[in-house]
């Protein structure tokens, strides 16, 4: 039996982090590493002076997440939800972080709580899909991505991740269709090129040109 091609991975999302995924310090140059560490230290000192400042805490949690300091990010986001249990951003970030840590049930708990406060948040549904995908529940992931797209039909992340879930479930026609939608949304974007590469791999796998 042929083995399906290994397509590009899903795009993990965090509501308040600007980058798509935590960035490993090892990938940066030495100067960039020093700058990030210094930024973490400065922000941590600011939080010590204003421990109840939720905006500062979120910023610090995001920076921890970005540089791969998962335990520190986790503690910071948990502090935010202790201060404000309705904070959708912190709960969404907690969900993403727990997914990264392989704590899938805890991730879903946080994301479901986020939806109770913001039921029309497409990104939370995308993150739920990502959590299901990470635990190999591909059909559940597909359902969550579809719910995200019902709210935001132009979400490139939802289309891309839905395509990946379809591909891993070997529903290739639907996967190609979703990647083509991403290309239509932003033909010159970096994600569009990944979609083209994935479509090419799928077509080669199926013996198509």
Which of 28-32, 58-62, 113-117 shows the lowest mean pLDDT across its residues?
A: 28-32
- Does some domain include residue 80? yes
Q: What does the pLDDT average to over 174-194?
A: 93
Predicted local confidence at residue 14, as pLDDT? 41
27 has a pLDDT exceeding 50: no
Q: How confident is the model at residue 207 (pLDDT cuts 50, 70, 90)?
A: confident
pTM of the model: 0.81
7 has a pLDDT exceeding 70: no
In terms of pLDDT, which residue wins out, 22 or 10? 10
CA 157 distance to own-chain centroid: 9
* 72-83 per-position pLDDT tens digit: 999 999 999 999
Which of 32-46, 123-137, 143-157 shows the lowest mean pLDDT across its residues?
A: 32-46
- Does some domain include residue 1? no
Of 28, 12, 180, 174, which Cα lies nearest the Cα of 93? 12
CA 53 distance to own-chain centroid: 25
Q: How confident is the model at residue 179 (pLDDT cuts 50, 70, 90)?
A: very high
- Does some domain include residue 4? no
- 10 Å CB burial of residue 49 (0-12, 13-18, 19+) is exposed
- Does some domain include residue 11? no
- Does some domain include residue 183? yes
- Does some domain include residue 192? yes
- Does some domain include residue 197? yes
Predicted local confidence at residue 147, as pLDDT? 97
- Does some domain include residue 142? yes
Total domains present in the chain:
1
Question: Which tokens is 91 given?
Answer: 């709960």
Give the CA angle between residues 158, 164, 168 to the nearest 5°: 145
> Tokens 């026609």 map to which residue?
173
Give CA–CA dist 135/126, Å, rounded: 14
* 100-135 per-position pLDDT tens digit: 999 999 999 999 999 999 999 999 999 999 999 999
- 10 Å CB burial of residue 187 (0-12, 13-18, 19+) is exposed
Q: What does the pLDDT average to over 154-174?
A: 91
The mean pLDDT of the chain is 83
Give CA–CA dist 48/32, Å, rounded: 24
Q: What is the CATH number of the domain that holds 165?
A: 1.25.40.10
Q: How confident is the model at residue 36 (pLDDT cuts 50, 70, 90)?
A: confident
Predicted local confidence at residue 81, as pLDDT? 95
Question: Which tokens is 113 given?
Answer: 């709580």
Of 122, 67, 134, 129, which Cα lies nearest the Cα of 76? 67
What does the DSSP 8-state code read for residue 27? G
- For residue 71, what are the domain limits? 25-205
In terms of pLDDT, which residue wins out, 38 or 113? 113
Give CA–CA dist 158/67, Å, rounded: 25
Predicted local confidence at residue 10, as pLDDT? 52
């Amino acid at each position: 039996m042929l083995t399906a091609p290994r397509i590009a991975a899903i795009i993990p999302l965090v509501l308040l982090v600007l980058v798509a995924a935590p960035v490993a310090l090892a990938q940066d140059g030495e100067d960039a590493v020093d700058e990030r560490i210094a930024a973490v230290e400065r922000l941590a000192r600011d939080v010590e002076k204003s421990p109840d400042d939720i905006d500062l805490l979120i910023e610090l949690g995001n920076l921890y997440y970005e540089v791969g300091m998962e335990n520190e990010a986790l503690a910071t986001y948990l502090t935010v939800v202790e201060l404000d249990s309705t904070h959708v951003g912190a709960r969404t970030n907690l969900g993403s972080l727990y997914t990264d840590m392989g704590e899938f049930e805890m991730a879903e708990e946080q994301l479901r709580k986020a939806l109770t406060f913001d039921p029309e948040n497409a990104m939370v549904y995308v993150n739920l899909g990502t959590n299901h995908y990470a635990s190999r529940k591909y059909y559940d992931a597909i359902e969550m991505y579809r719910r995200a797209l019902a709210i935001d039909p132009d979400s490139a992340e939802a289309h891309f991740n839905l395509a990946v879930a379809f591909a891993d479930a070997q529903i290739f026609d639907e996967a190609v269709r979703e990647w083509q939608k991403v290309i239509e949304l932003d033909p010159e974007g970096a994600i569009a090129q990944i979609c083209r590469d994935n479509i090419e791999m799928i077509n080669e796998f199926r013996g198509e040109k």
